[in-house]
Amino acid sequence: MAPRIRSYSLENRTNRLRLPVRRKSYSVQIAVRPAVRLAYRRNLNTGTWSAMADGWLKAFAVADDFEDANGITVLTYHQAIERARQLARGQSEEDTERPVTVSEAVDRYETDLEARGGSKKNAARVRANLSEVFARKSVALLAAKELRQWRDDLVKRIRPSSVNRTCKAMKAALNLARSLDPRITNVEAWETGLAAIPDAEESRNVILPDDAVRAVVAKAYELKYEFGLLVETLAVTGSRISQVLRLTVGDLLADRLIVPASRKGRGRNRIEKRPIPIPTSLATKLRKAAASRRDDAVLLLNSNGDPFPPDSQRPPFRLIAKAAGLDPAVVTLYALRHSSIVRQLLAGVPTRVVASHHDTSVGMIEKTYSKYILDHTDALTRRALLDLNPVPSASNVALLSGGAQ
């Protein structure tokens, strides 16, 4: 049995009543993880017991200063210790009154992501960068200054672009906590404290020429036919790996795939599936792979007949990238998506169509691929330029009325 927490000034009514009346509570630490203190407010009449944890304060009973304890509304010192521990740890029936901690907010965010079909990696990214002290802080009491300090400490350890992604996920977790508890009103604290670092996004998009894409696909087929079919589908559609892995046999039509939407964004008007044209050669391969399986069966299967496990494609893709003469540390599966987007932009496909085809926004296309858009629009604009001083040639001299040349 753990030893009892002793406090000469608080543990009996005689000593408590000798304390000066004041607004600030007297307190004693009663737990380490999380750090919990039992607070006693000395009033002119009966004092009150409260639980304190990382700045959160919750009054829960009166002290047995002038009446005997009843174990519910009037508590002794040691009874108050147990109740305070339960409240701070969420083990009491009153735990719904305690604002969530940062750690609990991240846990709820992870659960919400899973329920919506999102990637739990966003929550894991935040959790990996939470100190034990910061994780225990109450969301309702977070201040802009400490959030900014947390963001700036991240810069010392990870790239600024990764800091922005981590802060974005943290804001999503805190906003979810706020939406579930109207008492959390300090949203401005994280809007200010977790503001994105300007000019932090590093353009690491690798654009492969068509010959390099063909080489990658060929090497993938050499490694395993099923993996080659997956890589070719990614290269042709420009879809994300998470989308392609969710294709079913019923999504394969004569000359197109009905690609499911990505797990990014959940707008009310979001299109859940969109048709993507594919060449006849790929359609024929996919139809053969589908054989006579049911429409709701997964379309692309591994060589063992099972669906590809998530994140299982990175090791083999590094092998085929190296075999194709590319740097596997730089060229990833996403290079196929980036290359598809740029290929369509340079072919004159309208940006809105490119965005729709690749399940993204025009704004994101313009932000991420602006260099290639500018290169393309420069070529288009030059075709329509009016040159007032062209070099004349014998074949383009026209006679004006009156015989003047």
CA distance 215 to 227: 14
Distance of alpha carbon 216 from alpha carbon 325, whole angstroms = 9
pLDDT cut 90: percent of the chain above it = 51
Residue 301: which of 220, 237, 246, 223 has the closest Cα? Answer: 246
Evaluate whether 24 touches 39 at the Cβ level (below 8 Å). Answer: no
pLDDT, tens digit, 9 for 90 and up, residues 116-125: 767 788 899 9
Q: Which residues, 6 or more positions from 349, have their beta carbon under 8 angstroms from its beta carbon?
A: 357
Q: Taking the model in full, what pTM does it have?
A: 0.57
- The residue ranking higher by pLDDT, 397 or 300, is 300
Task: Decide: residue 350, CB within 10 A, 0-12 exposed, 13-18 middle, 19+ buried.
Answer: exposed
Q: CA 228 to CA 218: how far, in whole Å?
A: 7
Residue 398 predicted with pLDDT over 70: no
The residue assigned the tokens 């639980």 is 51
Instruction: Give the model's confidence band at 28: pLDDT under 50 very low, under 70 low, under 90 confident, else very high.
Output: very high
| 282 neighbors 236 (Cβ within 8 angstroms) | yes
C-alpha–C-alpha distance, residues 33 and 103, integer Å: 13
Contacts of 252 (CB under 8 A, 6+ apart): 258, 283, 286, 287, 290, 299
State pLDDT tens for residues 190-203. Answer: 999 999 988 765 55
68-97 tens-digit pLDDT: 999 989 999 999 999 888 877 665 555 446
Q: What is the pLDDT of residue 401?
A: 44
Asked whether the predicted pLDDT for residue 48 surpasses 90, the reply is: yes
Phi first, then psi: give them for residue 117, nearest 5 degrees. 80, 20
Those residues whose C-beta lies under 8 Å from the C-beta of residue 53, and which sit 6 or more positions away, are 34, 35, 36, 37, 88, 136, 138
Give the residue with greater pLDDT, 269 vs 46: 46
Q: Domain 210-381 adopts which CATH fold?
A: hpI Integrase; Chain A (1.10.443)
* Segment 332-377, tens digit of pLDDT: 898 999 999 999 988 889 989 999 999 999 988 888 887 766 665 6
Higher pLDDT, 272 or 401: 272
pLDDT of residue 123: 92
Q: Residue ranges of the domains in the chain?
A: 13-97, 102-193, 210-381
Q: Please answer whether residues 168 and 129 qualify as being in contact, where contact means their C-beta atoms are separated by less than 8 angstroms.
A: no
Cα radius of gyration (the chain): 32
Q: Which two tokens stand for residue 158?
A: 């990870």
Q: Please tell me the distance from the alpha carbon of residue 243 to that of residue 237, in angstroms, as a whole number.
A: 10
